[in-house]
């Protein structure tokens, strides 16, 4: 790694005492000396967590131990007149480069410090984050590093750079698999949305609750909104929603015009609220689609046009069986036979275990059950009563067709 000015190249030199000799290395294999437990390499499969967990310590070790790299990756003690063979506490100060304290990592300290490879991956991750914030970035790991079992840490790190942003994958293992390896990249490059229009036809069982329920965020930031009749304008006209009430010939629907490019870091999220207006009262399970269809017509950054449908969420609710209501005035037995010993307390209400206001011979009926408003739809995110549902429409660059999900609105 460099100093950012193009003046120096740095690395971390680590001491190796194997084979009865002392050497200093600034190379990839030093990671094995600093991390003898190979399970450490699995941590790179979750690169974001690895970076957040280790970056501060690695940066501190780099500040302490990094040394200029002069294109010599190995210093052998016997080649530089360094007394060796004792296996530890070697004095490398006869080499000016290593005369200063902390100019290398001694064998005794390696398991407590970062290696050159750790520092290199840290620098790659740090720079990748900055690159992905400005550009479309793509990385491919070489599968030979994994198959040979020597550099699994490198394979795991590079193939999971997408944890930090943008795209990463693996080069196919064989040539006959190369065809199509860039399909995922193509979808993010060619299908970035330059402009487009979503037409959303609302389901028969639902009505739009109110025009004011429409809200839009751009990259997580709420857009300004102006309502004028059946038109809602966001961010001064960059995005326009037009609502069309149902007629005899046309179902209720709205259009959402996206008039500016969708940036890779600024996904769009349009939300609106629906009311379930056609709900059955007959016991049973019911599933209703919130939309008849929702389709995005788009123009890509390359001028290509296309059409992509959104998945349509469904709401499932249950109307349970109701308990029968007892007849408040049942017909008496036409010829009742009196019980000679009815066993009725002549002083009802005196038993401390009974309710003095309740006839002990009469069963109090429970209130009849009402139809349940619960939903078992996997698209909902809480157990609030069904009635008002917020539909979330997501559109992002490289994810044409976006995503449509539901969340239930709590009644006030």
Nearest-angstrom CA–CA distance, 390 and 64: 54
In this predicted structure, what is the pLDDT of residue 182? 74
In this predicted structure, what is the pLDDT of residue 332? 54
Pick from 120-124, 129-133, 157-161, 222-226: least confident: 129-133
pLDDT, tens digit, for every residue of 325-340?
665 565 555 554 544 4
pLDDT, tens digit, for every residue of 280-326?
889 999 888 889 998 999 887 778 788 888 888 888 888 888 776 66
Is 71 exposed, middle or buried, given 0-12, 13-18 or 19+ CB atoms closer than 10 A?
A: exposed
All CATH 2.60.40 domain ranges in the chain, comma separated:
191-321+371-408
- Report DSSP letters for 78-108, one per residue: GGTT---SSSSS---TTSGGG-STTSSB-GG
Pick from 124-133, 173-182, 380-389: least confident: 380-389
Q: What is the 3-state secondary structure (H, E, C) of 68-79?
A: ECCCCCEEEHHH
Question: Which range, 191-200, 243-252, 260-269, 398-407, has the best average confidence (pLDDT)?
Answer: 243-252
* pLDDT band, residue 376 (cuts 50/70/90): very low
* pTM for the model: 0.49
Nearest-angstrom CA–CA distance, 212 and 271: 11
In this predicted structure, what is the pLDDT of residue 134? 81
* CATH class as words, domain 191-321+371-408: mainly beta
Nearest-angstrom CA–CA distance, 106 and 17: 10
Q: Mean of the per-residue pLDDT values for the chain?
A: 79
Residue 407 has pLDDT above 80, yes or no: no
In this predicted structure, what is the pLDDT of residue 21? 66
CB atoms within 10 A of CB 78: 12
In this predicted structure, what is the pLDDT of residue 188? 58
Percent of the chain whose predicted confidence (pLDDT) is above 90: 42
Q: What is the 3-state secondary structure (H, E, C) of 151-187?
A: CHHHHHHHHCHHHHCCEEEECCCCHHHCCCCCHHHHH
pLDDT, tens digit, for every residue of 134-160?
887 889 898 887 777 778 999 999 999
- Listed in sequence order, the residues at least 6 apart from 314 whose beta carbon sits closer than 8 Å to its beta carbon are 287, 288, 289, 290, 377, 379
Nearest-angstrom CA–CA distance, 261 and 110: 50
pLDDT, tens digit, for every residue of 54-74?
999 999 999 999 999 988 999
Residue 368 has pLDDT above 80, yes or no: no
Pick from 22-31, 84-93, 112-121: least confident: 84-93
- Report DSSP letters for 329-355, one per residue: SPPPPSSPPPPS-----SSTT-STTS-
pLDDT, tens digit, for every residue of 204-263?
999 999 999 999 999 889 999 999 999 999 999 999 999 999 999 999 999 999 999 887
Residue 411 has pLDDT above 60, yes or no: no
In this predicted structure, what is the pLDDT of residue 189? 55
DSSP conformation class of 230: T
Nearest-angstrom CA–CA distance, 379 and 315: 8
Nearest-angstrom CA–CA distance, 14 and 89: 13
Residue of 142, 131, 138 whose CA lies nearest to 183? 138
């Amino acid at each position: 790694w460099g100093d950012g000015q193009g003046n120096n190249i740095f690395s971390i030199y680590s001491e190796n005492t194997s084979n009865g000799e002392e050497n200093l290395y600034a190379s990839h294999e030093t990671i094995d000396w600093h991390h003898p437990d190979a399970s450490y390499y699995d941590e790179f499969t979750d690169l974001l967590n690895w970076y957040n967990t280790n970056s501060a310590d690695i940066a501190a070790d780099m500040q302490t131990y990094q040394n200029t790299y002069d294109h010599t990756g190995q210093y052998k003690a016997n080649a530089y007149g360094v007394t060796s063979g004792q296996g530890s506490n070697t004095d490398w100060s006869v080499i000016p480069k290593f005369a200063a304290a902390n100019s290398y990592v001694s064998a005794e300290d390696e398991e407590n410090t970062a290696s050159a490879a750790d520092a290199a991956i840290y620098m790659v991750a740090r720079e990748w984050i900055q690159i992905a914030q400005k550009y479309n970035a793509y990385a491919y790991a070489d599968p030979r590093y994994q198959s040979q079992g020597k550099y699994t840490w490198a394979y795991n790190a590079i193939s999971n750079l997408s944890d930090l942003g943008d795209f990463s994958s693996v080069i196919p293992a064989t040539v006959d698999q190369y065809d199509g390896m860039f399909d995922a990249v193509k979808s993010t490059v060619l299908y970035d949305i330059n402009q487009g229009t979503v037409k959303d036809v609302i389901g028969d069982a639902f009505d739009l609750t109110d025009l004011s329920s429409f809200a839009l965020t751009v990259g997580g930031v709420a857009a300004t909104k102006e309502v004028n009749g059946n038109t809602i304008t966001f961010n001064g006209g960059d995005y326009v929603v037009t609502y069309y009430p149902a007629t005899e010939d046309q179902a209720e629907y709205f259009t959402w015009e996206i008039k500016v490019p969708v940036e890779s870091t600024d996904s769009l999220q349009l939300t609106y609220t629906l009311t379930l207006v056609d709900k059955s009262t007959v016991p049973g399970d019911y599933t209703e689609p919130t939309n008849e269809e929702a389709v995005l017509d788009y123009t890509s950054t390359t001028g290509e046009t296309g059409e992509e449908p959104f998945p349509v969420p469904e709401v499932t609710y249950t109307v349970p069986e109701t308990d029968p209501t007892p007849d408040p005035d049942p017909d008496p037995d036409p010829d009742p036979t009196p019980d000679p010993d009815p066993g009725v307390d002549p002083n009802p209400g005196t038993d401390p275990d009974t309710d003095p206001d309740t006839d002990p011979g009469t069963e109090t009926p429970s209130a009849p059950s009402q139809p349940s408003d619960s939903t078992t739809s996997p698209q909902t995110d809480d157990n609030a009563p069904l009635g008002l549902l917020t539909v979330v429409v997501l559109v992002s660059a490289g994810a044409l067709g976006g995503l449509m999900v539901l969340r239930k609105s709590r009644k006030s």
